[in-house]
Amino acid sequence: MGNLVAIVGRPNVGKSTLFNRLTNTRHAIVSDVAGTTRDRQYGKCEWCGHEFSVVDTGGWVVNSDDIFEDAIRRQVIVATEEADLVLFLVDIKNGVTDWDEDVAQILRRIKLPVILVANKADNNEDNYYAADFYALGLGEPHTISAATGSGTGDLLDLVVETLPNTDKEDLDELPRFAVVGRPNAGKSSLINAFIGEDRNIVTEIAGTTRDSIYTKYDKFGFNFYLVDTAGIRRKNKVTEDLEFYSVMRSIRAIENSDVCILMIDATRGIEAQDMNIFQLIQRNNKSLVVVVNKWDLVEDKSQISIKTFENAIRERMAPFVDFPIIFASALTKQRIFKILETAQWVYNNRKARVGTTKLNEVMLPLIEAFPPPSIKGKYIKIKYCAQLPDTQIPSFVFYANLPQYIREPYKRFLENKIREHWEMTGSPINIFIRQK
């Protein structure tokens, strides 16, 4: 079960630099101009065998006509409602500012663990200035330099120590399906259509995460948990940015599920927000079923056929194209049964096992016919392959004499061949190349 860590602070204290440092990426654009971060950044951080998600709250300042402070105050409130731990970043060079005091005031009221992080401590003298931040009433400031990385190891130790332990109470080994999508794509309607009439057979178990509610569904021969994120709690008087919320919620739901049912609004086509959520699903190695909702509302079906719409979706989501797409309507309940059947089928594909002998019989002749391209005059030979036991998703290992020379496109070729011969639709596949 993933923990969520939110980085908050006023503009230009180095939130994006810290985000990049923690996630080992360069996703967030870093510059000296305040408010550069316009996208909501989300990434994974691994430290000493612990994995958690990091959200950089830069760029949630939506309406430019909003008073800037208000916008920052709002993102802090929203972030704290969804996260398990908050890193409050301040700038050691500037000392305590009014904005810092504003943010600290909000953070002192919440019941979440907050770690105060004094950034830009580039040399030892700077550490002495950290004492000023005791005034914020949030305990000891931890000095780091996100740019050089000094102090970040100790910070991560502290984060891992402080995070609540969320080993999930074992919900019986039933599949968990999450319905995700951008606001207004029809998630609630779909969940209501599933659960609808006979609410009595459905039991709700609130997950360890304060948000994802597991709804047990056992009728019509199905047995699974719905990870429900739609409309879970009414937010008290926070005029929050809806899109940000839906992303925070989606992160939660996606991490707690096995199969994600991604809802796309047929009347609006595929939007950037849909792609963001799709990338979250991929990054978390979850199985995927795409549901095009509101198909009954598309007026001119002569103009756009199901085929063209499908192709458009697969084109946007390439290179991963092996997933089912269902055209449905949550309102008229058209094909919603099909959605459940498909989700169940995709979940079973996730558990697919291929015998080693069979795998070698099929794959080795194919590899012989299309060997990896030779690099620097060296010929690459793959002699043997097997499926790894007990993995979350189907994972295959190929033993080669020079594994370092096998590139992404060839791995994709191997993956496609496996998909052609065995049913793994909707499920991601891992391909590893090891030294034989």
Of 12, 54, 19, which is closest to residue 146 (Cα–Cα)? 19
Buried b (16+ CB within 10 A) or exposed e, 212-243: bbbbbbeeeebebbbbbbbeeeeeeeeebbeb
| Residue 31 or 436, more confident | 436
State pTM to two decimals: 0.67
Using pLDDT thresholds of 50, 70 and 90, give the confidence band for residue 231. very low
| Residue 54 or 70, more confident | 54
User: What burial class does residue 161 get, using C-beta atoms within 10 Å of its C-beta: 0-12 exposed, 13-18 middle, 19+ buried?
Assistant: exposed
Question: Across all residues in the chain, what is the average pLDDT?
Answer: 79
**Mean pLDDT of the 328-332 span:** 83
pLDDT of 228: 63
pLDDT of 246: 60
Tokens of 357: 């002998």
| Residue 252 or 93, more confident | 93
Using pLDDT thresholds of 50, 70 and 90, give the confidence band for residue 180. confident
- Least trusted range by pLDDT, from 191-200, 350-359, 402-411: 191-200
| Residue 402 or 43, more confident | 402
Q: Are 118 and 144 in contact (CB under 8 A)?
A: yes
Does 360 have pLDDT greater than 90? yes
Using pLDDT thresholds of 50, 70 and 90, give the confidence band for residue 336. confident
pLDDT of 64: 44
Give the strand order in the sheet containing 395-400: 382-387, 395-400, 430-435
Q: Are 157 and 237 in contact (CB under 8 A)?
A: no
**Alpha-carbon gap, residue 193 to 21, rounded angstroms:** 43
Residue carrying structure tokens 């190695």: 285
Three-class SS of residue 414? helix
Q: How far is CA 267 from the centre of its chain?
A: 25
Percent of the chain with pLDDT over 90: 23
DSSP state of 13: S
For the segment 209-226, what is each residue's pLDDT rounded down to a tens digit? 344 566 777 777 788 877
**Alpha-carbon gap, residue 338 to 292, rounded angstroms:** 12
**Alpha-carbon gap, residue 416 to 422, rounded angstroms:** 10
> E-strand spans in 284-394?
287-293, 325-327, 382-387
Alpha helices, DSSP H, located in 83-205: 98-109, 152-162, 187-195
pLDDT of 239: 45
First to last CA, the chain: 35
- Least trusted range by pLDDT, from 51-60, 144-153, 164-173, 238-247: 238-247
DSSP per residue, 173-201: S--EEEEEESTTSSHHHHHHHHHSS-GGG
pLDDT of 203: 47
pLDDT of 394: 92
**Alpha-carbon gap, residue 256 to 281, rounded angstroms:** 11
Q: Are 67 and 59 in contact (CB under 8 A)?
A: no
**Mean pLDDT of the 362-386 span:** 90
DSSP state of 99: H
Does 126 have pLDDT greater than 70? yes
**Alpha-carbon gap, residue 268 to 194, rounded angstroms:** 24
Task: Using alpha carbons, list the distances in angstroms from residue 312 to 186, 304, 305, 308, 315.
Answer: 20, 11, 11, 6, 5
Of 165, 260, 156, which is closest to residue 209 (Cα–Cα)? 165
Using pLDDT thresholds of 50, 70 and 90, give the confidence band for residue 288. very high
**Mean pLDDT of the 232-249 span:** 52
For the segment 378-432, what is each residue's pLDDT rounded down to a tens digit? 888 999 999 999 888 899 999 999 888 888 999 999 999 999 999 999 999 999 9
